[in-house]
Structure 1
Amino acid sequence: MQTPYLRLPFLFNPALLEADLQRCLRGHWEQHFNAKDYDGSWQLIALRSMTGAEEDIRAHAGGQYLDTPLMEACPYFREITAQFECEKEAIRLLCLAPGSMVKEHRDQQTSYEDGHFRLHIPVITNPGVEFIVAGRQLPLVPGECWYANFDLPHSVANRGETDRVHLVLDLVRNEWIDRLFRDAGYIPPATGPDPETLQKIIAELRLQNTPAALALIAQLQQP
């Protein structure tokens, strides 16, 4: 089974993370554009965007990105970003207010296997936050760094009394990242036979016509 989520070997300083967040609170935060995906308040501000503006909160894989003035004002966020030796795309802060919920959804082509993937670094959170990926609640705490395959079903609910803010980095996969993930315990997707070989296997199993063979055929034909 491939890895749906993975804690990476970083532990950032929560006090320094929150200090940079305080600088960002003076900026202009935008409500998330996918209004159908959440209830309550889900706001973002950009540290790196396609236009270089902090109000440009959209993320598109494969675009050209620029640091915003807000990134220049946040020394610890710059230090964190520099530790990832790969191409950086969108870098944003996402704030989910108390009593708000991001409904279960999937973000297309945001998995490590797609080559463009997303990391979450909690800045502030609380015990009432439920962050669920592929049916499992992840116990994220400030300063940790997590990868998740957001092409899988995921949701967030802030049932606490304080904001939940994450630093979210969209990165491009390269050899350095491959080593980082491998060392952290990443399991790649299983590779099966090519379509022609698969059809030959299924034909041979049909000839056997046993309950075990028929069960295996059903398994092989699953998408």
Structure 2
Amino acid sequence: MDQASPSVLELDRIKLPFSFDVEKIFAEVKALQLNHFEYYDVISLRAPAHLVDPSLPFPPPAEDYADGTWCDWMDTNALKKSPYLKSIVNQFQEHTTVNLVRILRLAPGANVKEHTDPTLGLHIEKSVIRLTIPVLNENTQFFLNKEPVLMKPGECWYLRLTDPHYILNPSQTERINITIDMVPNQWVYELIENSIL
């Protein structure tokens, strides 16, 4: 990377060198027989282990929940039924710790108000980062720092979500995306840094 290039910590959006099969993802999402919903729907694919298996002990209180080490994480039944989604998660688990993984659905005509996620950025000590894979986003607009992020289905993006962001879905179809939270290690830093155009 040349010296004039921006630092990975300076950029609020970076497209990563992955391309996932949207048809396979969408088929597995549909196979989960998701319910009708109003406004926003979340389906956990990886979650705190004690929530997936209630026989496991509740973890002790933590001083800091930001880095995800306050509990063990486990695949949910939804992920176990979804081999292609599982292969995507495994692709990252081979290199780092993957915590929360979710399918997020935003209803037609719904918006997400501007907000920040204070622990989701590479520049935050003891944080996790969130990768976003759009699945269905016809006419959906994702704004980060007031600027649109032009994400196409099947792409994979790192977004600095500690910055203000909001979503508009003026379309007649729901917006679906996959989010993958992971612990940033040397592999993650190098992946993101090498993805800077």
TM-score (structure 1 length as normaliser):
0.72
Cα distance in 2, alignment partners of residues 117 and 22 from structure 1: 27
C-alpha distance in 2, partners of 1:103/1:5? 19
1:175-214 superposed matches below 5 A: 175-185=186-196
Aligned residue in 2 for 1:146: 157
2:158 and 2:192 in contact (8 A); partners too: no
CA RMSD of aligned residues (A): 2.1
Q: Does 1:53 pair with 2:64?
A: no
Structure number with bigger Rg: 1
2:57 counterpart residue number: none
- Partners of 1:155 and 1:182 in 2: CA distance: 25
CA offset at residue 135 of structure 1?
Answer: 1.6
Q: Which of structure 1's runs of 4+ aligned residues deviate more than 3 A?
A: 51-54
AA paired with 1:10? F
Aligned to 2:40: 42
Q: Is the Cα contact below 8 Å between 1:93 and 1:166 reproduced in 2? A: yes
Query: Which is richer in helix?
Result: 1
Q: 2:171 aligns with which of 143, 156, 160?
A: 160
AA paired with 1:53?
A: V
Cα pair 1:52 1:68 within 8 Å, conserved: no
Report if aligned partners of 1:48, 1:68 keep a CA contact under 8 Å in 2.
Answer: yes
Q: Structure 1 vs Structure 2: percent identity of aligned residues?
A: 29
Measured in 2, the distance between the counterparts of 1:82 and 1:133 equals 28
Equivalent pairs counted in the alignment come to 171
User: Matched residues in 2 for 1:79 and 1:52: separation?
Assistant: 22
Q: 1:86 aligns with which of 80, 92, 96?
A: 96
Counterpart CA distance in 2 for 1:139 and 1:27 is 27
If the length of structure 2 is used for normalisation, what is the TM-score? Answer: 0.81
Query: 1:9-88 counterparts in 2 under 5 A?
Result: 9-24=17-32, 26-27=33-34, 41-50=39-48, 51-53=50-52, 61-62=67-68, 63-84=71-92, 85-88=95-98
Q: Confirm or deny: 8 A CA contact 1:52 1:65 kept in the other structure.
A: no
- Give me the whole-angstrom Cα distance separating, in 2, the residues matched to 1:129 and 1:20: 21
d(CA) in 2 for partners of 1:113, 1:28: 37
Q: Which runs of 5+ in 1 are unaligned?
A: 32-39, 187-223
Residue in 2 aligned with 1:189? none
